[in-house]
Amino acid sequence: MTASNESSTISRALEGRTALITGASRGLGRAIATGFAAAGAKLVLIGRVRSNLESVAQELRDKGAEVHCFPYDLSKVEGIPELYEWITSAAGEVNILINVAGKNFRVPAIEFPLEEWRGVVDLNLTAPFVLSQCFARPLIREGKPGKIVNIASLMTAAARPMIPAYTASKGALGMLTKALAVEWAQYRINVNAVGPGYFKTELTRPLHQDPVFDKWVLERTPMKRWGEPGDLVGAVVFLSSSAADFITGQILYVDGGWLANV
Ligand SMILES: NC(=O)c1ccc[n+]([C@@H]2O[C@H](COP(=O)([O-])OP(=O)(O)OC[C@H]3O[C@@H](n4cnc5c(N)ncnc54)[C@H](OP(=O)(O)O)[C@@H]3O)[C@@H](O)[C@H]2O)c1
């Protein structure tokens, strides 16, 4: 195989698959959706704001991708099974689930409101769990394989002050990844996570606009830069592809060396 053939094989690694990507309207989810379209996947995109989803979808349709949009607030976890029924009736069988949507709330732990705690945990942890159930049920019933990739965090492995709900939810998402991986390996459903380091997105705007925090990230990250959303895509495509068929229960950090550094 020539080098160009090889790269075109890699670039169409998700041909024939349908991927559901949450949080796809901006930031890391948008970059993943763009990479998945280039890799040949049919896409189902979820986010709350229809117009934002549709603008991503139109951009990807213009490049030849088939894209379905489902505006939905995933913190309303009880409604997810019904949402999933609509998705499969419109888009058909889903083979890949990428749980990206997440949020943070920053105040000292001592005054953290219970309502905000519940909101963060519902979106960052409970929604990925319920979506995983909905995704796995028909695949298990029909004996078909699937891939789940959860977007974890450095806070899956380490902690910083002022974000107790985020840290607890991302830590638990790492263990949920392992729990589902060991239970569903028998059904050929691989469950892995990707842990981004510090990436410049809307979510981290308060951090990268703070000169003190920005300096700390640059000093603490061996690669001496913030991640750009495109930096995450290769790891997620890989874990969603048949190249990762024997990989499950792993958390792959894409962090410019942050976690390896003391
Ligand atoms: N950026 C980083 O440095 C970093 C680092 C580690 C981990 N992560 C994780 O990566 C994921 C994406 O982060 P990001 O930086 O790309 O964030 P972002 O720019 O804030 O994007 C979040 C995405 O999730 C959607 N979303 C938010 N709340 C939602 C809800 N209730 N229901 C459905 N969709 C919702 C947003 O669309 P709508 O607003 O239209 O709903 C948007 O598409 C998160 O899980 C985050 O924890 C990010």
3 vs 159: which has the higher pLDDT: 159
18-22: strand order across its sheet: 67-71, 42-47, 18-22, 96-99, 146-151, 189-196, 251-254
Q: How many CA atoms lie within 13 A of 153 on its CB side?
A: 24
Give, using CA atoms, the residue closest to atom 20 of ligand 1: 203
Beta strands in 76-129 (DSSP E): 96-99
Index of the ligand 1 atom closest to the CA of residue 124 = 45
Query: Nearest 5°: phi and psi at 189?
Result: -105, 110
Percent of the chain with pLDDT over 70: 96
- The whole-angstrom separation of Cα 155 and Cα 8 is 35
- Of residues 84, 166, 198, 253, which has the active-site annotation? 166
User: What's the average model confidence in pLDDT over 172-179?
Assistant: 99
Index of the ligand 1 atom closest to the CA of residue 47 = 34
Measured in Å, residue 75 CA sits from the centre of ligand 1 at 12
Length of the chain: 262
Measured in Å, residue 13 CA sits from the centre of ligand 1 at 25
Query: Any idea what DSSP says for residue 228?
Result: P
> What integer best gives the mean pLDDT of the chain?
95
pLDDT above 60: residue 160: yes
- The whole-angstrom separation of Cα 233 and Cα 103 is 20
pLDDT for residue 9:
46
For the chain, domain boundaries:
3-197+236-253
- The preferred substitution site among 75, 78, 98, 103 for testing ligand 1, maximizing ligand atoms within 8 Å of CB, is 103
Measured in Å, residue 55 CA sits from the centre of ligand 1 at 17
Q: Is the CB of 126 inside a 6 Å radius of any atom of ligand 1?
A: no
Taking the whole predicted model, whether its pTM rises above 0.95 is answered as yes
Q: Is the CB of 28 inside a 6 Å radius of any atom of ligand 1?
A: yes
Q: Is 19 helix (H, G, I), strand (E, B) or coil?
A: strand
pLDDT tens profile 78-128: 999 999 999 999 999 999 999 999 999 999 999 999 999 999 999 999 999
Measured in Å, residue 68 CA sits from the centre of ligand 1 at 19
pLDDT band at 200, cuts 50/70/90? very high
Domain 3-197+236-253: CATH superfamily, name plus number: NAD(P)-binding Rossmann-like Domain (3.40.50.720)
Distance of CA 185 to the CA centre of its chain: 20
Q: Is the CB of 153 inside a 6 Å radius of any atom of ligand 1?
A: yes
Our answer to whether residue 198 is catalytic in this structure is no
- The whole-angstrom separation of Cα 140 and Cα 59 is 34
The Cα angle at residue 185 between residues 183 and 186, in degrees rounded to 5: 90
pLDDT band at 11, cuts 50/70/90? confident
Q: Is 261 helix (H, G, I), strand (E, B) or coil?
A: coil
